[in-house]
Structure 1
Amino acid sequence: MDRNIRSVDDVLGLLDGLFASEADRWTADGASWWDGFYADRSKPVPFFVAKPDENLVSYLDRGLITPGRALDLGCGPGRNALHLASLGFEVDAVDLSPAAIAWAGDRAREAGADIRFHCGDAFALAATELTGPYDLIYDSGCFHHLPPHRRISYRALLDRALAPGGHLALTCFAAGEMGSELSDAAFYRQARLDGGLAYTPESLRWIFSDLTEVELRRMHDEASTSPLFGEPFLWTALFRRDAV
């Protein structure tokens, strides 16, 4: 007879177990799924391109964010981390997948970029390696792969690592375009995430209501010939933590 629940972390771990399938891609157990995904670097996957997100470039061009310390959550092949490093940011980049980190490292060496790469679960690493404070936490497609209960861990990471006056910028699936629109409770009944969760602007504003909204819009559609990455099935959001 197990009576092991005595903390929030214990509850989160119990709920994690409901999504133990390899297809549920957000836990350390899902790293092998992502390794397979990244194994063929020539696959026509939109975000395999060596281009930064158009919204990230826009924030920088308009002076909404300025160089400082940055954390790239779910960095994949490193395209946004490389752009930040090229503009003078001191960058930490983390991903579950060793294959993704290896690819990002290859790109960084080719570019002569100094980026600190971390392989593993960002929530587990937050207390030891990803301590911040960061002026920018950038998330291009990580948030929508988290099960609902891990928003608690996500917000705790922000509380711990985002500097006063710092920014959270993220892209995530837009309801009506991409991702599952099941209720939070329904994910626990079926014990799978269906490839990712869709969000509305109202849900994002509620989840991050302790931050100040700077901009929330759909990502611009960028042509294949563009130097930027952009897909209109994504929301782009920029939030700021109060300086005091």
Structure 2
Amino acid sequence: MDRDIRTVDDVLTLLDGLFAPEADRWTGRGADWWDDFYTDRCRPVPFFVARPDENLVSAVERGLLGGGRALDLGCGPGRNALYLAERGFDVDAVDLSATAVDWARERARATGTENVRFLRGDAFALAGSDLTGPYDLVYDSGCFHHLPPHRRVSYLALLEQLLAPGGHFGLTCFAAGDGGMGSELSDTDFYREGAGLRGGLAYPPEALRGIFSGLTELELRRMRDEPEDSERFGKSFLWTALFRRA
């Protein structure tokens, strides 16, 4: 008989178990799943391309993001981390998958990019040790929508710990509604039905505004579709958002 819940972390761990094995994909236990995902580099996965997000490029070019220290959460093969490093940011980039991190390091060597540090691991576990704030920019392209609802608590705590006062938080995630992607089940139904994350959670804009209400919204829009020959990545089934900490 289990009667050992004493802390918030105990509760979060218990809830993680309701989503296993999908929840394992974003914790240290899920590294093998992501390693398999990234092994075949020829797979037709949109974000395998070596191109930065169009919204990130736009924010830099408009002067909304002006350099400093940056953290790329769930960096994958490093496309956004390398772009930021090439634009003068000092970048820490973290991913669960050693395979993805090795790929990102290969791309960095091929482009001669030096001011980026790739780390393999769980960002929640690395915060405060390998990931030491404050960061002027925390950027997440596709990690947030894979978190179970209860792990938003951990995510907001991570931002509170690592994002500098006056710093920026950039996000792309699955969009709810026409032309979007991801599951639109309510948070309650995810737990009630026990059917896993179904590939990721779709968010309406008002939900993102509520979750990140402690930050100032600068921009929230659909990502623009980019043609195949573009130097930028863009898929309209995603939201893009930029927030600033007071």
1:29 matched residue in structure 2: 29
Give the 3-state SS of the residue equivalent to 2:157 in structure 1: helix
For 1:196 and 1:22, how far apart are their aligned partners in 2?
A: 9
Is the contact between residue 140 and residue 171 of structure 1 (CA under 8 Å) also seen in structure 2?
yes
Corresponding residue for 1:64? 64
Identity of aligned residues (%): 73
Alignment of 1:239 with 2:240, yes or no, is: no
Letter in 2 for 1:13: T
For residues 155-203 of structure 1, the C-alpha deviation after alignment (integer angstroms, 9 at most, x for no partner) is 0000000000000000000002100000111112314100000001100
Residue of structure 1 aligned with 2:191, choices 181, 188, 191: 188
1:95-244 alignment runs, 5 A limit = 95-114=95-114, 115-176=116-177, 177-189=180-192, 190-242=194-246
CA shift, 1:224, in A, is 0.2
Distance 1:10 1:24 in 2: 16
| Cα 1:126–1:191 shift into 2, 3 Å | farther
On the 8 A contact 1:20/1:29 being kept in 2, the answer is no
| Mean CA deviation greater in 188-197 or 136-145 | 188-197
Q: For each residue in 1:213-232, what CA deviation from the matched residue of structure 2 results, as whole angstroms up to 9, or x when unmatched?
A: 00000000000010000000
Q: Per-residue displacement from partner, 1:58-83 (whole Å, max 9, x unpaired)?
A: 00000011110000000000000000
Judge conservation of contact 2:22–2:196 (CA < 8 Å) in 1.
no
The aligned counterpart of 2:7 is: 7
CA RMSD in angstroms, aligned pairs only: 1.1
- CA contact under 8 A between 1:78 and 1:107: conserved in structure 2? yes
Deviation at 1:25, TM superposition (A): 2.3
Distance between the aligned counterparts of 1:62 and 1:33, measured in 2? 38
Matched, 1:85 2:85: yes
**What amino acid sits opposite 2:150 in the alignment?**
H
Give the Cα–Cα distance (whole angstroms) in 2 for the partners of residues 128 and 175 of structure 1. Answer: 36
Q: Is the CA contact (8 Å cut-off) linking 1:171 and 1:235 kept in structure 2?
A: yes
Aligned to 2:220, what secondary structure does the other structure show? strand
Give CA-to-partner distance per residue, 1:30-66, whole Å, 9 cap, x none: 2211111111111121100000000000000000111
- Tell me the amino acid that sits aligned with residue 194 of structure 1: R
Rounded Cα–Cα distance in structure 1 between residues aligned with 2:80 and 2:92: 11
Q: Give the superposition deviation at 1:27.
A: 2.1
Distance 1:220 1:8, change over 3 A: same
2:26 is paired with a residue whose SS is coil
Using the alignment, how far apart are the partners of 1:188 and 1:25 within structure 2?
A: 18
Instruction: Name structure 1 gaps, 5 residues minimum.
Output: none
Runs of 4+ with deviation above 3 angstroms? none
Structure 2 unaligned spans of 5+? none
